[in-house]
Amino acid sequence: MTRIVDLTMTLEEGMVTYPGHPHVEITQLARFGYEGKETRKITLGTHTGTHIDAPRHYIEGGKTVDDIPPEVLCGPARLLNFAEWPDKAISASMLAQAAHGGSVERVLLRFDGEKRLGNMDYYNWQPFLTKNAVEWLLDKGCKLVGMDTPMPDSPDHKDTMPIHKILLGAGVVLVEYMVNLKSIQAETFQLIVAPLKIKDGDGAPARCFAICND
Ligand SMILES: [Zn+2]
């Protein structure tokens, strides 16, 4: 049976945003009692809620959201489950063990980070990829890395973002702030990542689905 899992945060006022990034504002414009319909204005950052990072985020002259082919964003993907692992530094051997020989062209890293949504714990706690993990992914032809945490870098490196820079520098697309990865039961599934097509976008909010045949 085909089951579609929604991996996207709901956009709403008061939701988590990275310190310094714009807060979400959703303002009602037209109203049924007056204009006979509803419309709204939304204010979002390019990195608000579940979103992609295009290479341009950290790489001058790098690909932007509107340049990324849909074939990179959508296709077969693999879930690497680290939710029960105590280590926060994800190494190449941990990736290899979790992937057990399968393709890592598109991978989603499950940490159940959403349990910590609602305060700075979400940012301060998060696991991260080591340099050798990233080299392993690139060596295996990885094009997209998604995660249910804010970023692939250690919170200790938030000012320099070395892991972001290696991945984006190699043209890999990042999908951050995903949710509900625990509902993906299959190890492989079809992934749909659909970011808003923003001209010269360094990033964009994205609707993400896993199409699972369990
Ligand atoms: Zn981002």
Task: Kindly compute the dihedral angle of the four CA atoms of residues 18, 21, 24, 25, in this order, to the nearest 10 degrees.
Answer: 160
Residue 163's pLDDT is 98
Residue 214's pLDDT is 80
34 CA from centroid of ligand 1 (Å): 39
35 CA from centroid of ligand 1 (Å): 37
pLDDT > 90? residue 50: yes
58 CA from centroid of ligand 1 (Å): 10
3-state per-residue secondary structure call for 95-163: HHHHHCCCCCCEEEEECCHHHHCCCCHHHHCCCEECHHHHHHHHHCCCCEEEECCCCCCCHHHCCCCHH
pLDDT > 90? residue 169: yes
122 CA from centroid of ligand 1 (Å): 14
Give the contacts of 119 (CB within 8 A, at least 6 positions apart): none
Mean pLDDT confidence for 33-55: 98
Residue 103's pLDDT is 96
pLDDT greater at residue 203 or residue 186: 203
Confidence of residue 154 (pLDDT cuts 50, 70, 90): very high
CA distance 195 to 119: 26
pLDDT > 90? residue 1: no
72 CA from centroid of ligand 1 (Å): 17
pLDDT single digits (tens) 58-117: 999 999 999 999 999 999 999 999 999 989 999 999 999 999 999 999 999 999 999 999
Mean of pLDDT over the chain: 97
CA distance 125 to 119: 11
Threshold 0.95, pTM exceeds: yes
Confidence of residue 134 (pLDDT cuts 50, 70, 90): very high
Mean pLDDT confidence for 191-200: 98
47 CA from centroid of ligand 1 (Å): 5
Q: Which two tokens stand for residue 74?
A: 């959508």
164 CA from centroid of ligand 1 (Å): 9
pLDDT > 90? residue 35: yes
Residue 86's pLDDT is 87
Which residues are placed with Cβ below 5 angstroms of ligand 1, an ion? 47, 53, 176, 203
